[in-house]
Chains A and B, each alone.
Chain A
Amino acid sequence: MKVLVCVKQTFDTEAKIELKDGKIAEAGINLIINPYDEVAVEGAIQLKEKNVVNEVVVISAGADKAMDAIRTALAMGADRGILIKQDTAADEYARAVALAAVIKEENPELVLAGHVAADDGSSQVPTRIAEILGYPHINVITSLEIADGKVTCSSEADGGTQVTEVSLPAVISSQVSWNEPRYPSMKGIMQAKKKPVSTVDAVAADNKIKIVEYALPAAKQAGIKIEEDPDVAAAKLADWIMNTAKAEIKK
């Protein structure tokens, strides 16, 4: 069985973001695999270690530098990579179309991806890919089991957790609590350099949404800071909670 993992290269979540000429400035920002996708890579590798799948293919749509994200996934243990060269301004629709075209050609039994990207926060692409391919999908999963041509996942749901089963092939999107991604070993990093990575151009697709402008949120101003004996500080904090923030007290 072949599993295909979609990874997106994103800013480090600790990065402070600035705008330059109305665009998000990229200079000096550390780029990482989207943390939700990293969990999907780890999940795929674990399936291979359990002999449930025999090949883990990593794909990424983006700029040339997204190759780094693919190499990181290969160093973790994925077998092969495909970089889809696409303008990073592609929207969720265009990215899903580009990824789905390659997935269709690869014809895997299972497609994994993070349920959301830490940068645009859209949480659309995996579901859009499933629709294009006509596959069932399950989102925000925290566990996964494959048996008898079916995949069964626990997932976060509104107001609780649920267990859902769909037939393979399927698109499954991961929550970060699914697993703890491994750090690539030195041996893994060396091996990754020799693993095959192909590069293809994205199929043409026009964006469906237009970004009109970026703005930084108004900086929050620091307010009162007190450093006093605990009982005095507590009285002042309680007063502020009741009279300024006007929170209700459930006695």
Chain B
Amino acid sequence: MAGTWVFVEQKDGNIRKVTFEMLAEAKKFGDEVSAVVFGKGVEALAPEFAKYGADKVYVADADVFGEYNTGAYVAQMVAMIAEYKPNAIMFAHTFNGRDFASRLAQKLEAGLATDVIKAEISAGKGLFTRAIYAGKVLAKVEITTDPILATIRAGVFEVVESAGAGAVVKPAVVATAADVYQTIKDFKPTVSARPELTEAPVVVSGGRGCKGPEGIKVVEQLADLLGAALGGSRASIDSGWLGHELQVGQTGKVVNPNLYIACGISGAIQHLAGMSSSKFIACINTDPEAPIFNVSDFGVVGDLFKVIPLTVDELKK
């Protein structure tokens, strides 16, 4: 068995942090750990994975892998699984990761645990904890289909440096242009100086209490001072103050930063589901009975329009 594979999440050579989180976690299972990277001109990335313990780095470098596309990636991975027989493959639970893993799992008629927050992998068996109902319930699932497949939520495992051999392996490239069935017509990167919601160490969110775009601006001041991602409750998304991609909750994103600050958010169950696993939670709300106080380590009963600017001044001191 060729150990645990970690599929590298990268775009244009920029590696997502979750890749290193997965490598560090995979090391704990005691088996050989390999990074698997698909792309164009990606071989130069190999030493990066060795720093986080990769014993091997499988590099599939070809034009057809230049942009993520399900067809070519699945065709290549299926061939590599047959050739090298990994025990398990971990993907990031990103849009691409879950797309890739789902289609691959079905092709192999295998089980797949998505959005995993805890993993235990041994020979032929994976035990994974998933936060279902957006975190209201934890489900432990067992997978014994071959290979064991899972997508891992960003930010739940710690990045730990450890030297690995990082021996580069170049598998035969079997995917061709004929495997590509999706044509990417356009890609617009999100233009934001702020980190991405699901990867940010600090998230500052605004809700109904912001009363409008002016209130969101107040919240943004605090977010930017903390280098935080900006988020919102359903009220501020439905009102059009923030884009849907910034919604935190059961019909939005689930976040688990080190610090979450809820501003003018009452704490509806569907919002709490998306942020309750944050390490530290603070809130500012005018209503002392708001449910958000029940999950907050530090709650301020007060008007965010007064408290936030003063807090920003204090933090700048």
Q: How far is the CB of B256 from chain A (nearest CB, A)?
A: 11
* Chain A hits for B16, CB < 8 A: 158
Contact A127 B103 (CB under 8 A): yes
Contact A137 B315 (CB under 8 A): no
Tell yes or no: B225 within 8 A of A by CB: yes
Contact A16 B269 (CB under 8 A): yes
Tell yes or no: A140 within 8 A of B by CB: yes
Contact A250 B227 (CB under 8 A): yes
A120–B133 alpha-carbon span in the complex (Å): 6
Contact A211 B140 (CB under 8 A): yes
A164–B141 alpha-carbon span in the complex (Å): 34
Contact A166 B181 (CB under 8 A): yes
Contact A208 B186 (CB under 8 A): no
Tell yes or no: A63 within 8 A of B by CB: no
Tell yes or no: B270 within 8 A of A by CB: yes
Q: Which residues of chain A in 91-126 are interfacial with respect to chain B, using CB atoms and an 8 Å cutoff? A: 91-93, 96, 118-124
Q: Which residues of chain B in 244-270 are interfacial with respect to chain A, using CB atoms and an 8 Å cutoff? A: 244-245, 249-251, 258-259, 261, 268-270
Contact B189 A165 (CB under 8 A): no
8 Å CB contact of A238 from B115, B187, B258, B314: B314
Tell yes or no: A15 within 8 A of B by CB: yes
Contact A118 B251 (CB under 8 A): yes
Contact A121 B106 (CB under 8 A): no
Chain B residue at smallest Cβ distance from A150: B183
A220–B267 alpha-carbon span in the complex (Å): 13
Chain A interface category by residue count: 35 or more
Contact B298 A237 (CB under 8 A): yes
User: Contact string, A220-251, partner B, CB cutoff 8 A, digits 1/0?
Assistant: 10111111101101111111111011111111
Tell yes or no: B122 within 8 A of A by CB: no
Contact A244 B141 (CB under 8 A): no
* Chain A hits for B115, CB < 8 A: 121-123
Contact B186 A162 (CB under 8 A): yes
Report the interface size for chain B: residues with CB under 8 A from the other chain: 97
8 Å CB contact of A96 from B106, B145, B184: B106
Q: How far is the CB of A41 from chain B (nearest CB, A)?
A: 15
Tell yes or no: A152 within 8 A of B by CB: yes
Q: How far is the CB of B182 from chain A (nearest CB, A)?
A: 5
* Chain B hits for A228, CB < 8 A: 302
* Chain B hits for A119, CB < 8 A: 132-133
Contact B296 A223 (CB under 8 A): yes
* Chain B hits for A96, CB < 8 A: 106
User: Contact string, B115-141, partner A, CB cutoff 8 A, digits 1/0?
Assistant: 100000000000100111111111111
User: Contact string, A133-166, partner B, CB cutoff 8 A, digits 1/0?
Assistant: 0001111101000000000100111111111111
Contact B227 A248 (CB under 8 A): yes
Q: How far is the CB of A13 from chain B (nearest CB, A)?
A: 4
8 Å CB contact of B134 from A118, A156, A226: A118
* Residues of B bordering A, CB below 8 Å: 9, 11, 16, 70-71, 94-96, 98-99, 102-103, 105-107, 109-115, 127, 130-145, 181-190, 196, 201-202, 224-227, 243-245, 249-251, 258-259, 261, 268-270, 273, 276-277, 279-282, 284, 288, 293-303, 306-308, 310-311, 313-316
Task: Give 6 CB contacts A-B under 8 Å.
Answer: A15-B269, A123-B115, A164-B182, A165-B182, A209-B142, A244-B297
* Residues of A bordering B, CB below 8 Å: 11, 13-17, 19, 24, 35-36, 91-93, 96, 118-124, 127-128, 130-132, 136-140, 142, 152, 155-167, 175-177, 207-217, 220, 222-228, 230-231, 233-242, 244-251
